[in-house]
Structure 1
Amino acid sequence: MNDLRTIILVEDDPDIAILAQLALTEIGGFEVTHYGSGPALLEDSAAIVPDLYLLDYRLPDMTGEELLARLREDPQSAAVPAIFMTASLMPDRIKALKVAGAMDVIAKPFDPLTLADELRARFRNAQS
């Protein structure tokens, strides 16, 4: 079983990105690399292979679902688990994201004090 140590966060809202990064690095002890858009990550995706992608669903240039599809095309990132963050927790959307290859979906707003533990638990459950 792999340990969760490195996370790539794709979030376009600067306030949410800062809060998530602080929660994940300071509370969770993770190494987090942040990108503000899908294209920014795709330009750099060959350089970094994380243990987990944490993707915003609504991004300005492409949806998180479109970004995940592009990541799945690259053999280097194809098997990296992904968790989405969204304020829209409609059952149909959650199902579609899981069909598209998402490990899970986390609600926004998230609790910064429990975000790291929540990701760790979901990652561990998927690994077993």
Structure 2
Amino acid sequence: MTALRVLHVEDEPDIREVAEVSLGLDPDLVSRSCGSGQEALAIVEDWLPDIILLDVMMPVMDGPATLARLRANVSTADIPVVFMTARAQSRELDLFRSLGAVGIISKPFDPMTLAASVRNYAHPPDELTTLRNGFLERLSNNATALTRYRSLLEGGMARRDTLSRVRDMAHSLAGAGGIYGFAEISAAASALEEAAIAALDAPTGVDIVARRLDHLLAGFPATTGIQRNIPPLALNA
């Protein structure tokens, strides 16, 4: 594994020392520190970091001014920069992000988690992964609702309204499941949607809806995120 190179820019020697020890807890991080924006600009000419931790309040050249110089240099323009600041008001945080910072670490920071925070900012999850994780969370919520609808159908309560809700939820899952790599869930949801539509016109089809709903729920991911095998379903089920 290639070590992650971290440059820490902070004018307070005590804070630099604590950060150096904190980052050193991760054997796959290589860090350097300096006490000013000017020094940071000199260091990156010869030692290009993967991420920069940048103090906001520094004399002569503060954090935002240093960031502007980094962004103006083609060699350093794309380096992720995280501001470290005690000014954690929402207005200031929005300003720092608007300047191009990828994140903010509040001071005082937790020495035991600083390295992990740096790694998260250096390698953030890609957008598709974030969306897929959101879909998994949605599946968990859907499982609760669909289980309740299954009980209502079995008890013969609120049948038409329940069928409409099952149809709408199945339609949504049928469209999204395949996008995020859950093709079997998508297919099972599509079959459930068809059954729910048919049952709205022919109440005798409620038993088929219940079976297809069971089939769909059986294929929902376990809490580990690993997909279970969906049991075979007869075409007329």
TM-score if structure 2 supplies the norm length?
0.50
| Contact 2:52–2:82 (Cα < 8 Å) also in 1 | yes
Equivalenced residues, count:
125
Q: Which runs of 5+ in 2 are unaligned?
A: 128-237
Match of 1:72 in 2: 71
Deviations 1:8-31 (A, max 9, x none): 100110000000011002x12211
- More displaced 10-residue stretch of structure 1: 35-44 or 103-112: 35-44
| Contact 1:4–1:120 (Cα < 8 Å) also in 2 | no
CA RMSD of aligned residues (A): 1.6
Identity %: 34
The answer to which structure, 1 or 2, has the higher relative contact order (CA under 8 A, 6+ apart) is 1
> 1:125: how far off?
2.0
- In the TM superposition, 1:26-45 aligns within 5 A as 27-29=25-27, 30-45=29-44
Q: Select the structure that is richer in helix.
A: 2
Q: Which amino acid aligns with 2:26?
A: G
Distance 1:35 1:80, change over 3 A: same
Matched, 1:46 2:45: yes
Q: Which amino acid aligns with 1:50?
A: P
- In the TM superposition, 1:1-128 aligns within 5 A as 5-25=4-24, 27-29=25-27, 30-125=29-124
Q: Select the structure that is richer in strand.
A: 1
Deviations 1:64-103 (A, max 9, x none): 0110000111111000000011011011111111111100
Q: Which amino acid aligns with 2:50?
A: D
| Contact 2:80–2:121 (Cα < 8 Å) also in 1 | no
Larger radius of gyration: 2
